[in-house]
Each structure stands twice: as structure tokens, then as C-alpha cells.
Amino acid sequence: MFCIKCGKEALKGNFCKNCFLEMNSLFEIGRGILYLCEMCNSYHMKKSKTTVEGFITGLVKTKNTLKSVMISRKEIGNRIIADVVCSGYISGIHKTERKRTTIIVKRHKCEDCIKISGNYHEAVIQARGENSDRILKKVSSMAEPQIVANISRASTGYDIRITSKRKASKIIQALMNKFDVKASYKLVGEKKGIKLYRNYYAVR
């Protein structure tokens, strides 16, 4: 059987290998918008943090089997021009394909930085006693800078204000293995009829 397009020996259906690969794309790639925080220089999509490479890889769509994805990019103004080279298989036949996409970058302030600039915090880790310096060092090593709203000295240690209750709880779980922790909470306001509480953790 011969290829109905070029006359060479057919490999897949009525087409030779080259004609079959020309007619079938290995992958498709869309366009997108990335948000760059002008305060911490981190990239975001919607509310989640990401990297440029991770974002571009997420734009690659295929029903075929990909073995590798290589990305090269350059920035021009508020755009990122990305060349994406994928290698993989279409119905068992190997193909390497290159495509280009454009990412629009919009500058903004991320949610964490907005909270920090307004000294917003949902939890306070109170490092106290003779271990206060060790506790502060441990918390600083575990907490992302974007979630630490403020660190201030107290009479017997430090107050570490954390923007997220969930992330503060995760830090506290780790501290419990080495330090004594006492938890409490205080009512700090009300929003749309819902009472808002701030968590306090005394760590010694």
C-alpha cells in the first residue's frame, strides 16, 4: 500500500510516516495572562503562586504521549514570548514539534503583600522565655517571608504576626515537637455577621 498523498510506502493507514506526522499535531498550546507582584516579584495565576515555566507547561494540551517539554523564553515589555519544543509519540510514531506562544504579564500586588502592608494577621506566635531566640529562628526558617506581617519585641520574647491561620497552624505543629505550646484565641471583629477570631500561640 502506498501513501495517497505522496506515493511513498504507507505506514499509518493510507499515509507514509512523514505525511501522517505532517497531518497530525503532537500538541497544542494556548495563551495566558500571568500576574507579577510588584512588591515581592512573585508570579501568580488567579490566587495561586506559580513560576513562568510551570505556567507555560500548563498551557500545553495533548491527547498524545509526551516524553519531554523544553521551554525557551524572552521578555519584551509586558509580554513573554515562549518557544516550546515537545517530543513524544502519536499512535506510536515519534515526533518532535515546536510552537510559540505569548504570555501577557500584568503587574499587581499579591494577596500576601497586601496583607503585610496593612499589618493584617490572623495569628500571633508568641515566642517566650529563655528559648525565645531559638523559637524565632525556627519560625523564620519555616515561614515564607510573604506570610510574616510583622515581628516585634515583647517583654519576654517576640510577637510574630502571621497572615494565615492555616499556615500558622502548620508551623505550630512542627514546634510542638520541641517546645511547649499553649493556644488561645480572641474576638477581633465581625464581617457580614460572621465573628472573626485571631489565634494566639504562646511558645516556650
- Answer positive or negative: Cα dihedral of 144, 147, 151, 201: negative
Give 78's pLDDT tier (boundaries 50, 70, 90).
Answer: very high
Higher confidence at residue 7 or residue 33? 33
pLDDT of residue 152: 93
pLDDT in tens, 56-67: 999 999 999 999
pLDDT of residue 47: 74
pLDDT in tens, 139-149: 999 988 778 98
Mean pLDDT in residue range 79-97: 96
pLDDT in tens, 134-182: 999 999 999 887 789 899 998 889 999 999 999 999 999 999 989 999 9
pLDDT of residue 146: 79
Written as one string, the DSSP assignment of 2-68 is B-TTT-SBPSBTTB-HHHHHHHS-S-EE--EEEEEETTT--EEETTEEE-HHHHHHHHEE-SSEEEE
* Residue extents of the structural domains in the chain: 25-108, 111-203
Mean pLDDT in residue range 42-59: 91
Give 40's pLDDT tier (boundaries 50, 70, 90).
Answer: confident
How much of the chain exceeds pLDDT 70, in percent? 100
pLDDT of residue 14: 87
Higher confidence at residue 135 or residue 189? 135
Give 9's pLDDT tier (boundaries 50, 70, 90).
Answer: confident
Give 190's pLDDT tier (boundaries 50, 70, 90).
Answer: confident
pLDDT of residue 196 exceeding 90, the answer is no
Burial class of residue 35 in the structure, from the number of CB atoms within 10 Å of its CB (0-12 exposed, 13-18 middle, 19+ buried): buried
When mean pLDDT is compared across 13-17, 78-82, 190-194, the lowest value belongs to 190-194
Give 70's pLDDT tier (boundaries 50, 70, 90).
Answer: very high
pLDDT of residue 119: 81
Q: What is the CATH number of domain 25-108?
A: 2.60.40
